[in-house]
DNA sequence: AAATGTGGAATTTTT
DNA sequence: TTCCACATTT
């Protein structure tokens, strides 16, 4: 088909876009135009009449990715995106559950718990059932539940190997009962419930299988076991699953992502007539050659890859710069210097990213940037819909929609303060427990006397008044009304630091407005326009976005499923600081990968995890491939961590980049920062400058922070010392052998 | 109900 | 060290 749509695609992209109707695995390297291929594929299917919008389902992991796909798609095709299902796994599951809430055994207006809400519910359960939170930390149970659901297991299906696990299963059952009673579902539940719905209802399954001839999956390497099984259920015998992913960028195993899905795809989605096609997109349009060569060489150290080598015709570009700093402070100072220079040369600050393995590392960097007056923005932290005041307002909204939601009830029953104290609530909870009811039901039943009872009655009346006064209002006005009537507005007005919170509440009203305005663009198509016998009559599922049946519920689902941005303000161009995880999918002119030290990156916790370092290496691969033009790798020989100095050796990931690609920037003779040991006693050696020829001193003199090699224990760093002369001993932190004290007289140490 | 104190933990986190 | 959750005070 001749079409401008296909212009400028490279041969592999073109092949992928125009594959015949069969399942395919597209191995799309970083910067290889993956989103373009996905969206062009859809546009091509529509344009050639091979698919109707109704027949397309595209699933992503983030709302951002879903939005981007939708936006780009609308620009590519004259056809309406209405009718397509494009969204996140959770969003699509939510949508399906709303449409089939009866078969899914859920209340029509079920509410979605985010991770915070879920933990709160668990803690509440602990109180009412007197569960020992020492033996069973709430977070452990939260993890246990998520894990079980991910494995597709209800409490009765979980095998308990010991008493401890038996208790956990028991609590899992209690948790489930509470969720069911209150009409709430957590994130994992959305998936599992949707999976079970498809699994247990042949009619519904048949309906969706018949409908979705094309299922497209973004970031396929990040799918979990359950998501994979969900896809298999959804994909009918004739469906074409177009899975796009990069096994080398799988960095969410700790959250359940299962790279093995990529290996199994070929087997599981092939039919005798239609084998799975595999296409590799290896041409990179982002980075210069040296950067790609570094990434390729690094990732080649991983086993069990599908195999892929990025290339570019953009030329080699600059060498990868490496800097070894004596301390974390020096590392930060170096970065500030370089950044200043780059910005002075005219590079936009927002085109520079500082990446780190763990968020705690941002502090030192921030401090230095602040002192230097360089504007920066840190990603991470509380998102908009997670802020306390926003959660409060949402809790009122939730109560209006679904008053049996105990979590929402407890959050605002005494906020703003209205004299309903802990004692009253304990009594109420006891009443609810013995009646097997929710708090709302218990409160309405009365049974609490005196002033406390009256206050509680007042609260019940307030919620009912809220419901009555907002029923006929547009969503944003309803939100505004609730903020006023609940007393929150007055409360924050009176509070000295309440201004920010008030502004956030105003922002919430604004968000509701935007949601309603843009919602219909997203997914307001009727859920089931092709009626199928076995599918029961549907509620008019034409709410905006998440496909809920009324705007309020849809908005609440939206708030839970899309926590919003970390910060509202964008403002002036600023340097970007973020974890490597957060950088995935982004790109910058210049990238600093900081803290490249053994124990930090790769993180020490990965050492005792199966294939842990491999995942760290993929993380490093992601970090490197964020850079378009310039890449800096930095590390510190000593670093403040948990209140004390740590001496780390340079990350193996630096060693894994061919030295020919590297340009060392560390001064040849950089003295280690004075440490609390008499330097004269120990003599002073130039800091090791890895990558350059090492001097082998005849009579080595040792200092703290120095890298050494031991015949038996391998490489390590001297972290402490004591004694002198023949009594002298040093403490060495070995990469593999751990921390040891060694007598200098006997240990055969070499400088490393 | 705010304010202050204490103990324990301190990767990563698309939903 | 620093942050957070929780408990105790005022």
B9 C1' to A140 CA distance, Å? 15
Selecting from 3.40.50.460, 3.40.50.300, 3.20.20.10, 3.90.1150.200, what CATH number does the domain A4-101+192-283 have? 3.40.50.300
A4-101+192-283 and A320-383+567-665, same CATH topology: yes
Q: Is the CB of A222 under 7 A from strand B?
A: yes
Out of A249, A438, A576, A650, the active site residue is A249
- In the block, which residue shows the tokens 């299963």? A169
Nucleotide nearest to A641 (CA to C1'): C1
What token pair was written down for A108? 């029509």
Of A196, A264, A183, A249, nearest to A226 (Cα)?
A196
Backbone torsions φ then ψ of A706, nearest 5 degrees? -80, 145
3-state SS class at A179: helix
Q: Measured between alpha carbons, how far is A324 from A375 in angstroms, rounded to an integer? A: 25
Q: Rounding to the nearest 10 degrees, give the CA dihedral for residues A711, A716, A717, A721.
A: -50
Q: Is the CB of A558 under 7 A from strand B?
A: no
Q: Is the CB of A255 under 7 A from strand B?
A: yes
How is A36-71 classified by DSSP, letter by letter?
A: HHHHHHHHHHHHTTS--GGGEEEEESSHHHHHHHHH
Out of A12, A150, A189, A219, the active site residue is A219
Q: Which residues, at least 6 apart from A447, have a Cβ–Cβ distance to it below 8 Å?
A: A431, A453
Q: Measured between alpha carbons, how far is A582 from A622 in angstroms, rounded to an integer? A: 10
Q: Which residues, at least 6 apart from A208, have a Cβ–Cβ distance to it below 8 Å?
A: A96, A198, A234
A570 is annotated as an active-site residue: no
Q: Measured between alpha carbons, how far is A544 from A255 in angstroms, rounded to an integer? A: 29
Strand C: which bases are under 7 Å from protein Cβ?
Answer: 1-3, 6
Q: Is the CB of A643 under 7 A from strand B?
A: yes
Out of A357, A398, A626, A629, the active site residue is A626
B7 C1' to A134 CA distance, Å? 14
C-alpha triplet A260, A263, A266: angle, nearest 5°: 140
3-state SS class at A165: helix
A249 is annotated as an active-site residue: yes
What are the residues facing A716 on neighbouring strands?
A: A708, A734
A731 is annotated as an active-site residue: no
What are the residues facing A376 on neighbouring strands?
A: A575
**A92-95 long-range contacts, Cβ below 8 Å, gap at least 24?**
A92/A57, A92/A59, A92/A194, A93/A190, A93/A191, A93/A193, A93/A194, A93/A230, A94/A190, A94/A546, A94/A547, A94/A548, A94/A557, A94/A561, A95/A523, A95/A527, A95/A541, A95/A546, A95/A547
- In the block, which residue shows the tokens 């490393």? A752
How is A446-474 classified by DSSP, letter by letter?
A: ----HHHHHHHHHHHHHHHHHHHHHTTS-
Q: Which residues, at least 6 apart from A108, have a Cβ–Cβ distance to it below 8 Å?
A: A98, A101, A539, A549
Of A671, A744, A675, nearest to A710 (Cα)?
A744
The dihedral sign for the CA sequence A216, A218, A223, A227: negative
What are the helix (H) ranges across A273-387?
289-299, 328-344, 362-372
From the centroid of its chain, how far is CA A596?
A: 22
DSSP state for residue A351 in the 8-state scheme: G
Q: Is the CB of A496 under 7 A from strand B?
A: no
**A735 neighbors A714 (Cβ within 8 angstroms):** yes
How is A614-642 classified by DSSP, letter by letter?
A: HHHHHHHHHHHTTEEEEEEEEEEEEEEET
C5 C1' to A139 CA distance, Å? 13
CB atoms within 10 A of CB A736: 10
The pLDDT score that the predictor gives to residue A683 is 32
B13 C1' to A198 CA distance, Å? 28
In the CATH hierarchy, which fold is given to the domain comprising A386-529? PCRA; domain 4 (1.10.486)
Distances (CA, A) of A625 to A247, A250, A253, A553, A590: 14, 13, 20, 40, 11
B9 C1' to A134 CA distance, Å? 14
A219 is annotated as an active-site residue: yes
The dihedral sign for the CA sequence A262, A15, A39, A628: positive
Query: Architecture of A320-383+567-665 per CATH?
Result: 3-Layer(aba) Sandwich (3.40)
What token pair was written down for A37? 């291929």
What pTM was computed for the model?
0.85
**A6 neighbors A15 (Cβ within 8 angstroms):** no
Sheet (strand A277-281) strand order: A85-88, A56-60, A214-217, A240-245, A24-28, A277-281
- In the block, which residue shows the tokens 């296909």? A6
Q: Is the CB of A417 under 7 A from strand B?
A: yes
The pLDDT score that the predictor gives to residue A661 is 94
User: Looking at domain A112-182, does it have CATH number 1.50.10.10?
Assistant: no
Strand B: which bases are under 7 Å from protein Cβ?
Answer: 1-2, 10-15
A313 is annotated as an active-site residue: no
Read off the pLDDT of residues A473-528 as tens digits, 9 standing for 90 and up.
999 999 999 999 999 998 888 877 788 888 889 999 999 998 888 764 344 332 22
B3 C1' to A554 CA distance, Å? 40
Q: Measured between alpha carbons, how far is A269 from A340 in angstroms, rounded to an integer? A: 52
What token pair was written down for A660? 């020919």
Read off the pLDDT of residues A404-455 as tens digits, 9 standing for 90 and up.
999 999 999 988 888 888 888 888 888 888 888 899 999 998 888 888 888 8
A187-200 and A202-211 are packed helices; what angle lies between their axes, rounded to 10 degrees?
100
Average pLDDT for consecutive 10-residue bins of chain A (752 residues)? 76 95 94 94 94 94 92 88 92 95 94 92 88 87 93 92 89 94 94 97 94 96 96 93 96 92 92 91 95 96 90 93 93 95 93 96 92 90 88 93 90 88 85 89 86 87 93 92 92 81 90 82 32 34 45 92 72 89 95 96 91 94 97 94 89 95 73 34 35 38 77 81 64 77 79 78
Q: Is the CB of A701 under 7 A from strand B?
A: no
Nucleotide nearest to A221 (CA to C1'): B14
Of A476, A481, A484, nearest to A507 (Cα)?
A476
A646 is annotated as an active-site residue: no
B13 C1' to A51 CA distance, Å? 36
Q: Is the CB of A561 under 7 A from strand B?
A: yes
- Domain ranges (residues) in chain A: 4-101+192-283, 112-182, 320-383+567-665, 386-529, 679-751
**A235 neighbors A294 (Cβ within 8 angstroms):** no
The pLDDT score that the predictor gives to residue A78 is 86
Q: Is the peptide bond before A250 cis (omega within 30 degrees of 0)?
A: no
In the CATH hierarchy, which fold is given to the domain comprising A679-751? Thrombin, subunit H (2.40.10)
Q: Which residues touch strand C (CB under 7 A)?
A: A 123, 138, 363, 640, 642-643
Nucleotide nearest to A643 (CA to C1'): C1
Distances (CA, A) of A123 to A136, A138, A232, A587: 11, 6, 36, 40
Q: Is the CB of A116 under 7 A from strand B?
A: no
Q: Measured between alpha carbons, how far is A190 from A95 in angstroms, rounded to an integer? A: 10
| Helix, strand, coil content of chain A in percent (nearest 5) | 45, 15, 35
What are the residues facing A26 on neighbouring strands?
A: A244, A279
The pLDDT score that the predictor gives to residue A536 is 37
The pLDDT score that the predictor gives to residue A726 is 62
The pLDDT score that the predictor gives to residue A677 is 34
């Amino acid at each position: 088909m001749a079409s401008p749509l296909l212009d400028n695609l490279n041969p592999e992209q073109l092949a992928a876009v125009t594959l015949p109707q069969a399942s395919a695995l597209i191995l799309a390297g970083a910067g290889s135009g993956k989103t373009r291929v996905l969206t062009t594929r859809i546009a091509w299917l529509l344009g050639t009449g091979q698919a109707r919008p109704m027949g397309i389902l595209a699933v992503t992991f983030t709302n951002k990715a879903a939005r981007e796909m939708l936006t780009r798609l609308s620009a590519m095709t004259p056809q309406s995106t209405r009718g397509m299902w494009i969204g996140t796994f959770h969003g699509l599951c939510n949508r399906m559950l709303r449409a089939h809430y009866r078969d899914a055994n859920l209340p029509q207006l079920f509410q979605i718990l985010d991770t915070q809400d879920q933990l709160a519910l668990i803690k509440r359960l602990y109180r009412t059932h007197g569960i020992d939170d020492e033996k069973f930390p709430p977070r452990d149970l939260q993890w246990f539940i998520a894990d079980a659901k991910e494995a597709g297991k209800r409490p009765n299906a979980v095998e308990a190997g010991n008493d401890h696990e038996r208790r956990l299963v028991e609590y899992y059952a209690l948790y489930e009962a509470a969720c069911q009673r209150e009409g709430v579902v957590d994130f994992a539940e959305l998936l599992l419930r949707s999976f079970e719905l498809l699994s247990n209802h042949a009619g519904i399954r048949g309906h969706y299988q018949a409908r979705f001839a094309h299922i497209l999956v973004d970031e396929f390497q990040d799918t979990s076991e359950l998501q994979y099984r969900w896809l298999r259920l959804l994909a009918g015998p004739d469906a074409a699953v177009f899975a796009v992913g990069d096994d080398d960028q799988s960095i969410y195993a700790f959250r359940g992502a299962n790279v093995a899905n990529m290996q199994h795809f070929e087997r599981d989605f092939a039919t005798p007539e239609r084998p799975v096609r595999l296409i590799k997109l290896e041409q990179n349009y982002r980075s210069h050659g040296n950067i790609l060569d570094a990434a390729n060489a690094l990732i080649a150290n991983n086993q069990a890859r599908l195999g892929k080598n990025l290339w570019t015709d953009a030329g080699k570009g600059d060498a990868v710069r490496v800097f070894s700093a004596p301390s974390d402070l020096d590392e930060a100072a170096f970065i500030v210097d370089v950044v200043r220079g780059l910005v002075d040369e005219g590079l936009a600050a927002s085109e520079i990213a500082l990446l780190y393995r763990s968020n705690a590392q941002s502090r030192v960097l921030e401090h230095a940037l602040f002192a230097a007056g360089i504007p920066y923005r840190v990603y991470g932290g509380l998102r908009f819909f997670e802020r306390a005041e926003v959660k409060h307002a949402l809790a009122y909204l939730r109560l209006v929609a679904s008053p049996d939601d105990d979590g929402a009830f407890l959050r605002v029953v005494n906020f703003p303060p209205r004299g309903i104290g802990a004692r009253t609530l304990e009594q109420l909870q006891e009443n609810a427990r013995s009646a097997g009811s929710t708090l709302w039901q218990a409160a309405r039943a009365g049974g609490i006397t005196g002033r406390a009872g009256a206050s509680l009655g007042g609260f019940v009346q307030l919620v009912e008044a809220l419901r009555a006064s907002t029923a006929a209002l547009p969503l944003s006005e309803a939100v505004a009304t609730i903020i006023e009537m609940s007393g929150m507005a007055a409360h924050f007005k009176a509070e000295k630091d309440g201004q920010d919170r008030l502004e956030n509440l105003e922002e919430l009203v604004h968000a509701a407005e935007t949601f309603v305005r843009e919602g219909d663009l997203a997914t307001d198509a009727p859920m089931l326009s092709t009626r199928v016998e076995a599918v029961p009559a549907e509620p008019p599922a034409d709410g905006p976005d998440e496909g809920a049946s009324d705007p309020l519920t849809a908005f609440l689902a939206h708030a839970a499923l899309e926590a919003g941005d970390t910060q509202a303000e964008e403002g002036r161009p600023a340097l970007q600081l973020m974890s490597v995880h957060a950088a995935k999918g982004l790109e910058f002119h210049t990238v600093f990968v900081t803290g490249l030290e053994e124990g930090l990156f790769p993180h020490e916790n990965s050492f005792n995890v199966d294939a842990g370092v491999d995942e760290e290496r993929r993380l490093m691969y992601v970090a490197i491939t964020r850079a378009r033009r310039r890449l800096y790798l930095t590390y510190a020989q000593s670093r403040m961590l948990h209140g004390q100095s740590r001496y780390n050796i340079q990350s193996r990931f630096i060693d894994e980049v061919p030295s020919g690609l590297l340009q060392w920037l560390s001064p040849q003779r950089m003295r280690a920062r004075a440490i609390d040991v008499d330097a004269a006693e120990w003599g002073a050696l130039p800091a090791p400058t890895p990558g350059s020829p090492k001097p082998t001193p005849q009579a080595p003199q040792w200092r703290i922070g120095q890298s050494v090699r031991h015949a038996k224990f391998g490489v390590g760093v001297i972290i402490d010392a004591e004694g002198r002369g023949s009594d002298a001993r040093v403490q060495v932190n070995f990469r593999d052998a751990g921390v040891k004290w060694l007598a200098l007289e006997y240990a055969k140490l070499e400088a490393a």
